[in-house]
Structure formats: C-alpha cells, structure tokens
Structure 1
Amino acid sequence: MNNKHILVTGGAGFIGSHLCEKLVSEKFITHSLDNYSTGSASNHVNGVNYIVGDILDIANIDIPIPSIIFHLGEYARVEQSFEDVARVMQSNIVGTQAVLEFSRQHNIKLVYAGSSTKFSDGGLGRNLSPYAWTKASNTDLIINYGDWFNLRYAITYFYNVYGPREISEGNYATLIALFKQQYEKNLPLTVVAPGTQRRHFTHVSDIVEGLFRVGMEGEGDGYGLGSTDCYSILEVAEMFKTELIMLPERLGNRMSSQLDVSRAKNEFGWHAQRSLKHYVESIITRTN
C-alpha cells in the first residue's frame, strides 16, 4: 500500500483504540477523529495523531488524504437509543453521509463497522431500535454508493465485543464490563429479563485482527466477526458464581443472534481465538 495514512473515526473509543494500536504496530501513519462523546484520552495510543472533532466535519480535517477510513465513530447503544433519537440520527445518518461523501470524493476505501443486530430474530432485529435501524440503513446506503459511484468499501459486523477499555458505567456501559464492575464491587449482577436472550461474545483482540484483515484485503458486504460460542445473558452472569438480580425487560432487546463468519474464515482464515469463559475466570482470579 503506497499511501500509509489511515483514518479511524472513533479512534479514542473502546474498539477504535485497539484498532489504532494494531495499525501503529503495522507501521501505518494513523489518525483518529473523535468527538469524545464516549471516547477518552485515557485510551490514547502512542504514535497516533488525535483530532478532536465530529464526523460531520470530516471534510475539514487537516491530514493527508488517507488510503482507508475505518468508520467506527457512530452512536452505538441499543436500548439507550430510544432516549437519544435525535443524537442517533445526527451521528449515524447525517454523520455517516458526510463520511461517505468524503470517501467518494477522494477515492478512499471505506471500512464500515456495521451492527449484527440487523440479522437477529430472523432479520426483524434491524427495526427493533433507532440504533439498529440506522446501522442497517447505512449498510444499504454504502452498498448503493458502491453501485452508484464505484465506492470501494467493506462492511463488517461485530458480535458483542468485550475486553480491556470497555465502558463500565452509565447509560453506555457494555454488558461484560458492567458485570465485571459489579463483581469487583461485590454487588449483585443485574440481568435484564428474561435473561434467555442469546449473544456471541467476542474479544476485542479477535475483532481487531479481523477488522484489520478486512481493511487490507476485504471488498464488499458480509464480513461477520464473532465467536462461535453463544451464551444467554443468564449463562454469562452465572459464570461469575455470585448473586443475581433480575431487571424488567427493555425495548429493543433482541432474543437471538445469527452468526455468519464464512467470508472472514474463507478469505483470511480468521476465527475468534479467545474464550469468554477464560476471560471471566481471569476476572474472578484477580478479584479474589
């Protein structure tokens, strides 16, 4: 690749920071664009050029035109999106349109972090929340940009990412980080009813390895990145072997998860290598 400049939107976030780490280790000149709504300066990686700004203003950032944009900088919570509809639309529809136009105008390959929610519950999951709908709509739009304007793109789908730097507090906390914090504070683990909803929990290191390979070699739609191990929320909570409390059911809470990693496996030999059970065991060992 002649142009070694790469832009990561959301590069100061959970997954974005790990991706930046990988890109720097692979000797890419790495730039991050983040508005720090959920990102943090504590996630900064040495060697990355951090730009404080919104994806709406991507056309005005002062960096060399990159060869690839990894677009991770969107609103990314299911249940909370019902309370943040205007913010979801601004970020995931208007903001991503700006990223698409910037990519089209400068012939940049766009690698999009889609959401596996669109495949859940037999395909009904794409309409279960404002978040899911915007993410699914964006994948449709990116595919159309490819057809209309010959945009170079690759679309990935993440499955319930966990690992270091997860958000553990507030409305944007992720499940494993929340359970980890509750366990470390000797609090009961809070499980949203009915608890039988199933997920493919995938370590962030596995996600980033797949995402990097898609960025370097992937083209088109359908790069699912997830662990084949599938657990219900109750099963995950029970791994911690502590007290549980059930919470009322929430809007947008899909019941099933449909995993397809065939493209990443067949094209790159990618598969998730890390185990959620081992991760939880390490939390228990460190805490006790």
Structure 2
Amino acid sequence: MTTKSESQRLVLVTGGAGFIGSHLVDALVGAGLRVRVIDNFETSTRQYLNRAAELVEADIRDASSIGDAFDGVDTVFHVAALPRIPLSIAKPVETHMTNVVGTLNVLIAARDRKVRRVVFSGSSSVYGEQAKMPLVETMTPNPLNPYALQKYVGEQYARMFHRLFAMQTITLRYFGVYGPRMPSEGSYVLAVAAFLKARREGRPLEIFGDGEQTRDFTNVSDVVSANMLAMDCEIAFADGRAVNIGRGENVSVNRIAAMIGGPTIHREGRAGDMRDTLADRMEAERVLGWRPKVSIEEGIAELLKG
C-alpha cells in the first residue's frame, strides 16, 4: 500500500475517455484520487471524460508525446487499445501499432518515471480454442487472430518488465465487457451493442453463425472494481501474472438476442473468432478478492432502460 493519502495520490488512465476507461476514471475520482488521462479521442468521446480528471491529449503510439504525463504517477491503468477482432484482421498493422507498440511505450514511460504499478487491460481472446472449459490462467494461450496475439504480446511485455526492472505489473484478462457507453457504431461492435442498436432502429438482430456460440459477458462495473482492487493487491501478486476477469457464466448469442428482443436474421460466421468463452475466476478471488456482482439479466435490463 502507498503511504500517500488518497487526495495526494496520482493515477494515470490511458484511454480514459473510452468505454471502460471512462467508467474507471469516474470510480477513481469518486474514490478521491487525483486522476490524469491520456487519450487521443480516436475511438473515444469527450463527453465521457470526467471533468475532474486532468487531460493529456496525446497518442500512446508516439513515445515522445506521453512521457511527461507519467511524472509523479503512482499507478498506471493501461486501458487504451484498438479493440475488436474483425478490425485487427482488416487492419493488422494499425492495430499492432496501438496494441503492441503503444503498450511498450507505456511500459517504458512508467519505468523511466518510476511508476509503482502498471495494471494492463488484457483480453480473454488470448486463449483461442481450448480443449476444455472453463478457461484457466495455466492454459497455454492459442491466439486465433491479430488482436488476440497483440494483447498476448502486451501481457508478455508487462511480465518481462517485472522480471527485468522489478516493476509491479498485473494483467487483467477481460471477458466480454458490456455496459453503458459501449461503442455501438461501425462494423466491429460487440454483439450486445449491435443488438441494442438494431432494436432501437427497428431492424432485425444480425446473428453470425448459428448463434449457439457462447460468451462470458462481464459488466463494466465489475471490470472497474477489479481494476480498483488490482491497484493495491499484495505486491507478491503484481509479478506480471495474468488474471481472468469474467463472471464465470456463459450464455449463447441466441439467448442474448432473446433477452433484447425482436426479429433475428442469421449471417455467415466470422473467421478468427472463438466458439466459446467461460472464465475460471478462482485466481481473481484469491489474488484480488474479486467477485462479480451484476448478472447478465440485470445488465441487459439496465441497458434496455437507457
């Protein structure tokens, strides 16, 4: 634990105006911390940026533009990314520059400015296809697409910086994060967001493949709580390890469509996608003391009200 009082403690959130990042910033501000945000607003929006946070408008792909933002920082939450599997297949170089080079730039800046801890936003996509469920951290990753590979490389860099420079790092492997503010524009959005948008616009819900593929959907509020716990978990656990952050229950895409309601149409399945995801969350409970609180039914009901 840091000896600084919460009002003096400075934390940095990359991508702090994005979907997950903005929710995290709100929680950190609410906890009384000083918060600094790095964002280039390429995939985020200014209206989500908490006005109590200090903004550094910069791009993590440009190391020279972000270094000073790490001065005096206790903890970095590296949330910034170009997510979505189809986007990485269509634009592997562009996504590599953000997800790999950007992550390396963040780690170097944190090392050079003596940041205490880096919490890296990882992805369950690193598992790829596995012989059995649930997915547990001891499994050998099997990335099926550029995004999954890029996030795995980010994990490995975080682990390496712990080994080489004794930096405290921990990766949180997110499973199907959804909730308010999730992106709903473009062709690379999460199924939940795409279904909600189609329903609002009176269009059929588009299901890729047979719809029986399953996902372990995790509410953004639960992901935020995991980050807050990772900030101060025991130093022995900030050793570069990866920890699953998933509810531990999976539901089919067809069931999600039924919860949201409306007619559906089926499209051809997409390449490079995992058939099923299901988190083993025993390590998250052991390391972070984390347990998810929001069920998929409660989360969808909240979104339908909005």
User: Shorter-chain TM-score: what band?
Assistant: over 0.9
Residue 107 of structure 2 corresponds to 100
Which one of 204, 208, 215 corresponds to residue 188 of structure 1?
A: 204
Structure-1 separation of matches of 2:288 and 2:191: 29
Residue 256 of structure 2 corresponds to 236
Alpha-carbon offset, residue 81 of structure 1: 0.9
What residue identity is the alignment partner of 1:132? A
| DSSP-derived class of the 2:276 partner | coil
Which one of 94, 115, 126 corresponds to residue 123 of structure 2?
A: 115
Asked if residue 226 in structure 1 is aligned to residue 246 in structure 2, the reply is yes
Residue 133 of structure 2 corresponds to none
What residue identity is the alignment partner of 2:170? A
| DSSP-derived class of the 1:51 partner | strand
| DSSP-derived class of the 2:170 partner | strand
Alpha-carbon offset, residue 278 of structure 1: 2.4
- Figure out how many residues of one structure are paired with residues of the other and give that number: 286
Asked if residue 57 in structure 1 is aligned to residue 41 in structure 2, the reply is no
The answer for unaligned runs of 5 or more in structure 1 is: none
Residue 75 of structure 2 corresponds to 68
Trace 1:132-143 onto structure 2 (pairs within 5 A).
132-143=148-159
86-95 or 9-18, larger mean C-alpha shift: 86-95
Percent of aligned pairs with the same amino acid:
27
Structure-2 separation of matches of 1:133 and 1:268: 25
Q: 1:4 to 1:145 in 2, by over 3 A?
A: same
Q: 1:127 to 1:222 in 2, by over 3 A?
A: closer
Structure-1 separation of matches of 2:301 and 2:109: 44
Report if aligned partners of 1:120, 1:258 keep a CA contact under 8 Å in 2. no
Question: After TM superposition, which residue ranges in structure 1, 4 or more long, deviate above 6 angstroms?
Answer: none
Deviation track 1:239-283 (CA, whole Å, cap 9, x = no partner) reads 223211111111211102141222221234311111111233345
Deviation track 1:170-189 (CA, whole Å, cap 9, x = no partner) reads 13422211111111222211
Asked if residue 212 in structure 1 is aligned to residue 228 in structure 2, the reply is yes
Alpha-carbon offset, residue 193 of structure 1: 0.8
Deviation track 1:105-155 (CA, whole Å, cap 9, x = no partner) reads 222111100111112421687421110011112212221221122121111
Structure-1 separation of matches of 2:21 and 2:169: 18
Report if aligned partners of 1:126, 1:136 keep a CA contact under 8 Å in 2. no
Residue 135 of structure 2 corresponds to none
RMSD between aligned alpha carbons?
1.9
